[in-house]
Chain A
């Protein structure tokens, strides 16, 4: 099986490539890039003039909900949402029920992902049993079963000694540790960002320092133990500053942020809309500006949407009782494309944040179009206007604050291992 993608603008930060060329795919691998290839009988050729080809996008922070919360999402529907959003690979957090804290759950997730046969699914294992913050999981066994990173995500490791040990042990196995930075004592009872709008709305606040205290602690732990740390969904100006300073001092810290943190602020909560409820919470305008600066100067390495699908029963309740999270896989690229138009990121920078950098952080052999690499490719129409319609989401989670948003730019072809897993070219009419 051979496929030729003709006339696209190919952007691949792994090879510092930004050129108009033809890409040849053979046996599920990139076999080379040339220009002016002629269509041949028996070889499928697609003319992608006007479109952009990037290494397949990778979302390193998703929640697929299976096992345990299949009414919110399954590995199959989450994978379908991924490819519909242009993502060829996703990493999924362990907060399922049961928690992915042992080999059998990891193997289950991988089997379900293989059955779905859409996106590559990389499980993230729990740091502690049940993500309860007490007893370390079997990192060796988890790694052998296929986890690519460790995290207790929404139940951050509050115990600094456990975090230290986990970082040391994981580092010896070359497994990244991902921390959702939130000091649970400082955030206790909070429902939205602490500040003017929380005061106005009478909602208990979650201060920015709840995130920053733990980010600072984990950066110090990484420095002391000479290991590394990846900070998930950075939401505050203070965390951006801490990471920027740490990188300058040579500490091995990487970080991601999510589209909602560079798009929205806590001002949006004025109608108590539960689709704006997310953890960490939407912050203020200064934070939003700092997140964009952090992406622009490379302090923040990756964009990951923290895809958190929920059922109607989780969101159609009082704000206080509503679950945190945004179903993000199908809007992430569209929202991120705005960063390019607004001059925050170049297209190469975007490809780095959405593909090459997450691949490097997770140490997975993805994120590149170099000859011999897996043919994971995302074809983007950068100018395609579209309106977010949650009813058309492949994800079971229709919980999006971006419902009705007019966006520009989306994936029109998602190719995984040389096979077309999503074809949205019909939307270009």
Chain B
């Protein structure tokens, strides 16, 4: 098996298509472990993983934790509310203290874009970016690409529509980088206030109406609306947003008949996605995403730990 020539997973932006393929292939090989009665292999026995979360997260943190445990790594969770973070210690000092305890991998979630890059430049451990501000969320994009490949057999040549608050979304950024690298056509749509400037230069089509992006899409990816954006006048009301940008039976008709629907969670049902679409096993792959998320994170731990122990 090929080895991943990287110390850290900071973003999809600096990954090659071969690296993405290696991670997805490795993740697929780990899928089966999660279906066993005894969901544990000794691969990373004696390794330790610290989940350092400066932002609240249930799904991502749990997914990383389960991924580590299934590989027999020791996983330790540190969250902002229960650590020295509240005492005003800097990220750099926290990192150096953790480094001194010799973990193997640090998974970092932080509200400031670039925080994992800062950490990676300071400590010898591998850093996995579990979401930094509006920059990237690489493991999410990897699990999304894994799910697309699983359902469609390929990524190359597909049309993927990403709908919602592109400006503030790290999920959108990581997926845009990954999907375009893997040969997909990406169309984004959202209100003008949620469209980042010069987004086209990332190699995507930008639309201001959901219908225009969805037409002929093989994959429709809905983004979570952050309710607090309303206060910043990014959008006037949830009511109006839901009327214009919610994925529903009508606009989903515009996509290909076999289109799949994705959402990184947590969903605002009835705001960005109508409940009957979210729960429709004919098109919704939302829970497959979650399942694949564990496998992708196992693959990242495995590859960063050397990747050829088995």
| B199-211 interface code vs A (CB 8 A; 1 in, 0 out) | 1011000000000
- Shortest Cβ gap from A282 to chain B (Å): 15
Question: Cβ of B198: which chain A residues have Cβ within 8 Å of it?
Answer: 195-196, 199
Query: What residue in chain B is nearest A318 (Cβ atoms)?
Result: B112
Question: Cβ of A316: which chain B residues have Cβ within 8 Å of it?
Answer: 90, 92
Q: Identify which of residues 90-114 in chain B touch chain A, using a CB-to-CB cut-off of 8 Å.
A: 90-92, 110-114
**Cα separation A12 to B67 with both chains bound (whole Å):** 71
Decide: A318 and B91 in contact? CB cutoff 8 A.
yes
Decide: B114 and A319 in contact? CB cutoff 8 A.
yes
Question: Cβ of A189: which chain B residues have Cβ within 8 Å of it?
Answer: 232
Q: Which of A200, A272, A319 contacts B202 (CB 8 A)?
A: A200
Decide: A202 and B135 in contact? CB cutoff 8 A.
yes
- Check: A317 CB closer than 8 A to any chain B CB: yes
- Check: A409 CB closer than 8 A to any chain B CB: no
- Select the residue from A196, A202, A316 with max chain B CB neighbours within 10 A: A202
Q: Identify which of residues 186-240 in chain B touch chain A, using a CB-to-CB cut-off of 8 Å.
A: 196-199, 201-202, 232
- Select the residue from B134, B197, B201, B232 with max chain A CB neighbours within 10 A: B197
Decide: A204 and B134 in contact? CB cutoff 8 A.
yes
Decide: A203 and B135 in contact? CB cutoff 8 A.
yes
- Check: A108 CB closer than 8 A to any chain B CB: no
- Shortest Cβ gap from B224 to chain A (Å): 16
- Check: A41 CB closer than 8 A to any chain B CB: no
Decide: A319 and B90 in contact? CB cutoff 8 A.
no
Given A194-B197, A202-B173, A271-B117, verify A319-B92 contact (CB < 8 Å). Answer: no
Q: Identify which of residues 62-89 in chain A touch chain B, using a CB-to-CB cut-off of 8 Å.
A: none
Q: Identify which of residues 230-272 in chain A touch chain B, using a CB-to-CB cut-off of 8 Å.
A: 271-272
Decide: B133 and A202 in contact? CB cutoff 8 A.
yes
**Cα separation A189 to B199 with both chains bound (whole Å):** 20
- Check: A405 CB closer than 8 A to any chain B CB: no
Number of A-B residue pairs at CB separation under 8 A: 64
Decide: B13 and A317 in contact? CB cutoff 8 A.
no
Query: What residue in chain B is nearest A197 (Cβ atoms)?
Result: B198
**Cα separation A389 to B197 with both chains bound (whole Å):** 37
- Check: A173 CB closer than 8 A to any chain B CB: no
**Cα separation A320 to B173 with both chains bound (whole Å):** 19
Question: Cβ of B118: which chain A residues have Cβ within 8 Å of it?
Answer: 272, 318-319
- Check: A205 CB closer than 8 A to any chain B CB: yes
- Check: A201 CB closer than 8 A to any chain B CB: yes
- Check: A198 CB closer than 8 A to any chain B CB: yes
Question: Cβ of B201: which chain A residues have Cβ within 8 Å of it?
Answer: 196, 199
- Select the residue from A189, A196, A199, A203 with max chain B CB neighbours within 10 A: A199
Given A196-B201, A202-B134, verify A318-B115 contact (CB < 8 Å). Answer: yes
**Cα separation A370 to B253 with both chains bound (whole Å):** 81
Given A272-B113, A318-B114, A319-B112, verify A200-B91 contact (CB < 8 Å). Answer: no
- Check: B165 CB closer than 8 A to any chain A CB: no
- Shortest Cβ gap from B51 to chain A (Å): 18
Question: Cβ of B135: which chain A residues have Cβ within 8 Å of it?
Answer: 201-203
Given A200-B13, A200-B202, A272-B113, verify A317-B90 contact (CB < 8 Å). Answer: yes
Decide: A198 and B197 in contact? CB cutoff 8 A.
yes
Decide: A319 and B197 in contact? CB cutoff 8 A.
no
Question: Cβ of A196: which chain B residues have Cβ within 8 Å of it?
Answer: 197-198, 201
Question: Cβ of B13: which chain A residues have Cβ within 8 Å of it?
Answer: 200
Query: What residue in chain A is nearest B90 (Cβ atoms)?
Result: A317
Decide: B92 and A202 in contact? CB cutoff 8 A.
no
Question: Cβ of A198: which chain B residues have Cβ within 8 Å of it?
Answer: 196-197
Ordered nearest first, which 9 A-B pairs have the shortest CB separation?
Answer: A272-B114, A202-B135, A318-B112, A202-B134, A320-B112, A199-B196, A196-B198, A202-B113, A319-B114
Instruction: Identify 8 new A-B residue pairs, CB closer than 8 A, beyond the known A313-B90, A317-B90, A320-B112.
Output: A189-B232, A198-B196, A199-B197, A199-B199, A202-B173, A205-B196, A271-B117, A319-B115
